[in-house]
Amino acid sequence: MFHNLRINIVIFYIVTTASFLLLFYNAVFVLKVENLYILALLLFLLIILSAVFISKLSVDPLESYVKELQNLSKETLHELNLPISTIKSNVQMLEKRLADEKSQKRLGRIASACDMLQERYNELDYLIKMQSKSKIRETFYLDELLRERITFLQKIYPHFSFELQSEHISLECDKIGLAKVIDNLIDNGVKYSGDSRKIVIKNRADYLEIQDFGIGMSEVELLRIFDTYYQTNSQMQGFGIGLSMVKRFCDENSIELIFDSTPGVGTTVKLQFKTIGL
């Protein structure tokens, strides 16, 4: 598709340019038009007209392609909801019937995997909505969202201790986007925890803090953490796209992002909310 599109645009551009040159030559040397202002105005109108055609030729196929992808994504997402719900409901029924520990553990792993699928489903649904809306805002309680994220992440990192110090604070912003930010920050804290196995999450009236007690970062490293794919340790997964996404979300939602880190002591990330909900 894109290969043919490039060829069509190049051909149209060549033909249009050649036509302009031929028109200019005939007007000046054959017809000997003396009023250059009229000639210039005519050429200007032709240039505008050709620009419109070129933009239409290039944008219309892309717009159609994007709409087809969006429709396919919506249909696929809708079809995914049924099997996820079916797995969840059947796991819940089996948990009530099966009493032996081995079966319960297996069902627990299935339930955890289903929760992860549900997370991916929610993220895809969120991304599709973001394509059609400039901003997604809803009012929710931050402490409840933090408990949800900790419950989910505890299944992934069962050897870690997540300490939540929270107040019952209402916040108005993009809930799913903020959840992704929280997941990324906690995930980075876990990756760079060193020998520590503790993450402290604290939310107050106008801020959220996530603190680890790991390897920390120097001032030089702090200057580069938002670079895409940057990592402080080549032997470990880096901050990568995660913190770039975090920074972009905070900028778009008027949230001040503050890092305080000391090598060998740990890192504290603070989200300072400038606009609080009700």
- State pLDDT tens for residues 62-95: 777 777 777 777 777 777 777 888 888 888 888 8
| CA–CA dist 264, 105 (Å, integer) | 37
The neighbour count for residue 140, using CB atoms within 10 Å, is: 16
Residue 229 has pLDDT above 50, yes or no: no
β-strand pairing of 170-173 with 161-166: unpaired
Examine the domain organization and report whether 100 and 170 are in the same domain: no
Compute the distance between CA of residue 58 and CA of residue 202 in angstroms, rounded to an integer: 50
Q: Which of 77, 104, 133 is the last residue of a domain?
A: 133
Q: Confirm whether 192 is domain-assigned.
A: yes
Is pLDDT larger for residue 229 or for residue 134?
Answer: 134
How wide is the angle at C-alpha 189 spanned by C-alphas 186 and 195, nearest 5°? 135
Output DSSP code: residue 233: -
Q: Are residues 127 and 178 in the same domain?
A: no
Single pTM value for the model: 0.59
Contact 53, 12 (CB under 8 A): yes
Domain stops at, among 104, 133, 162: 133
Give the model's pLDDT for residue 235: 42
| Tens-digit pLDDT profile for residues 194-225 | 889 999 999 988 899 999 999 998 888 887 77
pLDDT confidence band for 272 (50 / 70 / 90): very high
pLDDT at 140: 93
273 φ, ψ (degrees, to nearest 5) = -80, 120
Quote the pLDDT of residue 1.
56
Write out the two tokens for 11.
């051909």
60 and 127 within one domain: yes
Helix-strand-coil split of the chain, %, nearest 5 = 60, 15, 25
> At which of 98, 133, 168 does a domain end?
133
Q: Is residue 278 part of a domain?
A: no
Torsion of Cα atoms, 223 then 225 then 226 then 229, to 10°: 130
For residues 96 and 104, give the distance between their C-alpha atoms in angstroms, rounded to a whole number: 10
The answer to whether residues 114 and 150 belong to one domain is: no
Structural domain for 148, as ranges = 138-273
**Which is it for strands 266-273 and 198-203: parallel, antiparallel or unpaired?**
unpaired
Q: How many domains are there within the chain?
A: 2
Q: Verify that 97 and 150 share a domain, yes or no.
A: no
Residues 189 and 256 in one domain: yes
Residues 110 and 145 in one domain: no
